[in-house]
Amino acid sequence: MTASLFIDGAWSAGSGTRRGKIVNPATGQQISEVAFAEAADLDRALAAAERSFAGWRRTTAYERYQILTRAAGLVRERAETIATAITREQGKPLAEARMEAGATADFIDWYAQEARRAYGRVIPSRISGARQMTIAEPVGPVAAFSPWNFPCGQLVRKIAAALAAGCTIIAKAPEETPSCAIELVKCFEEAGVPAGVVNLVFGVPAEISGHLIPSPVIRKISFTGSVAVGRQLAALAGQHLKRTTLELGGHAPFIVCGDVDVAAVSALGAGTKFRNAGQICTSPTRYLVDDAVHDDFLARFAAIAEGLSVGDGAAAGTQMGPLAHSRRVDAIDGLVQDAVEKGARLVTGGRRIGNQGYFYAPTVLADVPLAARVMNEEPFGPVAVVNRFDGLDAALSEANRLPVGLGAYAFTRSSANAARLVDEIESGMVSVNHFGLAASETPFGGVKDSGHGSEGGSEGLEAYLAHKFVSQIGA
Ligand code: NAD
């Protein structure tokens, strides 16, 4: 496992001796280690990404489509190995890890096909005899930083989109969960991606971003993670005039109007909240429920939360696994204690489970005051706030109160309510009466402090393209 760096087509442990610990979050025990890249390794990756860009950008879209399609096939063949690695290092139940592996292959397929649709356009010219057009070109070598919550699913959005567009990439994958990232990159390697086009590194995150972003080789930055780190990387990218895609955190509102089927919506709401133990940037956090149905919704939601089977994600029957690392347990417990101190009602949960691994009980808080930190900071864990509202104005005002806007959910039988909610919620994505976010063919991204740019959909490829304008007379 120490040969975890993939630079210029070769696996190695890099030039240094620093290693990161890989821990199984279900036990808290170290299971392996991952090699960290040093500056010399990053310089080799930069040289490889620059050199190989000259050739990769000239491959035809059809060749890239063929290679990527082969990589998607390899991911499907190895889905069980990838899923097992995800669960072992990140903690989510195996069923969810299998879905992540499947979605990873889907994303590669989507971008393989999008590569063939990187159209330019012909523009009617005002100059007699001139032909004017745009040509889509790859923006250049990319530095990408992906997080541990979907260690394969987030990384693939960056690698597949960059490669499809004709860019080369240096990806820093999460140190906590390297094995599935390594498996994924092997699929690209074995599918025939030339040496240097994909490079995978791990290390001290700030050292790596501090080295790669200022490099003149890198033309594009893609980061998924917290708002705080996104701000730092955006500042550095701005200083060096690099294009960015930033997928940062959210604090998703989940608005439930008084006209819904409460049993169905509370079951959907609880199912979504506790998936991946709440460690999802679009995980609903603020359940804003019409006064008329609030108590019924809360009772049903809390009963589902209480009944969830929490345990090792590798064990049959587990519905919610541990948190991914110990600092998440401390963060969640701090938010819950703070809310209770400020007057919130703890309906269920609010405690760690067991004395090994990073387990925290599915937690439901009600009547939470706005001053509580959990109303203002993304919990990124298994905590739901179920508050009441009186009238849609109040719900919208609370939904839009925070500076972030990534995912939002709304449930109503009224088309007038739905239209208003869709129009007035300030978020990059809104899902009405179901959960419909994050498929490969749909754009995924936020507004306000949740970042900018999209991953997924045709917008996802666009992030890696520059449009050259050509105006030509004669020849
Ligand atoms: P963190 O802020 O320390 O790190 C978040 C991610 O950014 C990690 O993957 C980390 O490796 C990376 N990172 C940190 N500093 C970096 C730097 N200087 N350069 C490049 N990458 C850097 O937080 P954490 O404890 O790992 O995660 C908790 C918070 O992160 C959550 O509260 C959540 O808001 C956010 N998060 C968001 C997503 C998402 O999908 N948007 C995913 C994971 C984590």
Domain residue spans of the chain:
5-248+450-473, 252-440
Residue where the block lists tokens 């010219």? 125
Q: What is the mean pLDDT of residues 34-38?
A: 98
How far apart CA 351 and CA 331 sit, in angstroms, is 12
Ligand 1 mean position, distance from CA 188 (Å): 25
The set of catalytic residues is 247, 281
Q: Are 287 and 257 in contact (CB under 8 A)?
A: no
**Does residue 224 line the site of ligand 1, with CB under 6 A?**
yes
Q: Among the atoms of ligand 1, which is closest to the Cα of residue 325?
A: 25
For ligand 1, mutation pick of 89, 157, 226, 376 (most atoms within 8 Å of CB): 226
Contact 432, 448 (CB under 8 A): no
Say how many CA atoms lie within 13 Å of 18 toward its Cβ. Answer: 11
CA distance 374 to 365: 10
Maximum CA extent, the chain: 78
Angle at 133 between CA 127 and CA 136, to 5 degrees: 160
For tokens 């599918």, the residue is 191
Q: What is the predicted pLDDT for the residue at 3? A: 84
Which atom number of ligand 1 is nearest to the Cα of residue 249?
41
Residue nearest to ligand 1 atom 30, measured at CA = 226
Fold of 252-440: Aldehyde Dehydrogenase; Chain A, domain 2 (3.40.309)
Kindly report, residue by residue over 170-196, the tens digit of the pLDDT: 999 999 999 999 999 999 999 999 999
The string of pLDDT tens digits covering residues 196-217 is: 999 999 999 999 999 999 999 9
Percent of the chain whose pLDDT exceeds 90? 99
Looking at this protein, which amino acid is placed at residue 346? Answer: L
At 22 the pLDDT is 97
Mind listing the pLDDT tens digit for each residue in 242-274?
999 999 999 999 999 999 999 999 999 999 999
pLDDT of 11 strictly over 70: yes
* CA 229 / ligand 1 centre spacing (Å): 7
Ligand 1 within 6 A of 174 CB?
yes
The residue with tokens 């290092």 is: 89
User: How much is the average pLDDT of 32-50?
Assistant: 98
Under DSSP, is residue 423 helix (H, G, I), strand (E, B) or coil? Answer: helix
Distance 273 CA to ligand 1 centre (A): 20
Local structure of residue 455 (DSSP, 8 states): B
- Ligand 1 contacts CB of residue 378 (under 6 A): yes
pLDDT reported for residue 465: 98
Instruction: Using alpha carbons, select from 112, 118, 119 the residue that is nearest to residue 164.
Output: 112
| Helix, strand, coil distribution of the chain in percent, nearest 5 | 40, 25, 35
Query: pLDDT tens digits for 85-96?
Result: 999 999 999 999
Q: What is the pLDDT of residues 94-108, one digit of tens each?
A: 999 999 999 999 999
187 lines ligand 1 (CB under 6 A): no
Q: How many whole angstroms separate alpha carbon 142 and alpha carbon 100?
A: 24
User: Ligand 1 centroid to 145 CA: how many Å?
Assistant: 9
Does the pLDDT at position 439 exceed 80?
yes
- Edge-first strand order for the sheet with 465-473 is 121-123, 130-138, 465-473
Distance (Å) from CA 176 to ligand 1 centroid: 11
- Both tokens of 47, joined, read 């040289």
* Dihedral sign for Cα atoms in the order 273, 278, 282, 287: positive
Query: pLDDT class for 26, splitting at 50, 70, 90?
Result: very high
In short, whether 445's Cβ falls inside 6 Å of ligand 1 is no
Q: What are phi and psi of 213, to 5 degrees?
A: -60, -45
Residue 378 CB partners (closer than 8 Å, separation 6+): 226, 227, 249, 250, 251, 281, 285, 404
Ligand 1 centre distance from Cα of residue 224 (Å)? 7
Q: Alpha-carbon distance 81 to 100, whole Å?
A: 12
Q: Is pLDDT at 1 greater than 60 in this prediction?
A: no
The residue nearest atom 40 of ligand 1, judged by CA position, is 281
Residue 210, classed as helix, strand or coil, is helix
Question: Does ligand 1 have an atom closer than 6 angstroms to the CB of 380?
Answer: yes
**Whose CA is closest to 261, among 296, 215, 306, 299?**
296
For residue 444, count CB atoms less than 10 angstroms from its CB and return exposed for 0-12, middle for 13-18, buried for 19 or more. Answer: buried
Instruction: Report the topology of domain 5-248+450-473.
Output: Aldehyde Dehydrogenase; Chain A, domain 1 (3.40.605)
Would you give the distance in Å from CA 117 to the centre of its chain?
24
Spell out a b/e string for 7-27, using b for 16 or more CB atoms within 10 Å of the CB, else e: bbeebbbbeeebbbebbbbbe
Q: For residue 71, give both structure tokens.
A: 């990589």
User: What integer pLDDT is reported at residue 327 of this predicted model?
Assistant: 92
* Ligand 1 within 6 A of CB of 450: no
Pocket test for ligand 1, best of 229, 279, 327, 330 (most atoms within 8 A of CB): 229
Determine the 3-state secondary structure of 365 from DSSP: strand
Start-end of H helices in 288-409: 294-307, 326-341, 392-399
pLDDT, mean of residues 363-373: 98
What's the confidence (pLDDT) of residue 468?
Answer: 98
CA of 266 to the centre of ligand 1 (A): 30
pLDDT tens-place string over residues 377-413: 999 999 999 999 999 999 999 999 999 999 999 999 9
Between the alpha carbon of residue 145 and those of residues 205, 312, 450, the distances in Å are 8, 28, 16
- CB of 350 within 6 A of ligand 1: the answer is no
- Tokens at 43, concatenated: 């310089």
CA of 345 to the centre of ligand 1 (A): 30
User: Using CA positions, which residue lies closest to atom 27 of ligand 1?
Assistant: 226
Residue nearest to atom 21 of ligand 1 (CA): 205
Regarding the beta carbon of 249 and ligand 1, being less than 6 Å apart is answered yes
Q: What pLDDT does 268 receive?
A: 97
Helix/strand/coil for 27: coil
Residue 225 Cβ inside 6 Å of ligand 1? The answer reads: yes
pLDDT digits (tens, 9 = 90+) for 260-317: 999 999 999 999 999 999 999 999 999 999 999 999 999 999 999 999 999 999 999 9
Ligand 1 nearest-atom number relative to CA 154? 40
Amino acid, res. 404: V
Over the chain, what is the mean pLDDT?
97
In contact, 203 and 211? CB cutoff 8 Å = no
- The model's pTM: 0.97
- Residues across the chain: 475
Long-range contacts, stretch 124-132, CB < 8 angstroms, 24+ apart = 125/471, 127/471, 127/473, 129/473, 129/474, 130/471, 130/472, 130/473, 131/470, 131/471, 131/472, 131/473, 132/469, 132/470, 132/471, 132/472
475 pLDDT above the threshold of 90: no
Q: Is a pLDDT exceeding 70 seen at residue 46? A: yes
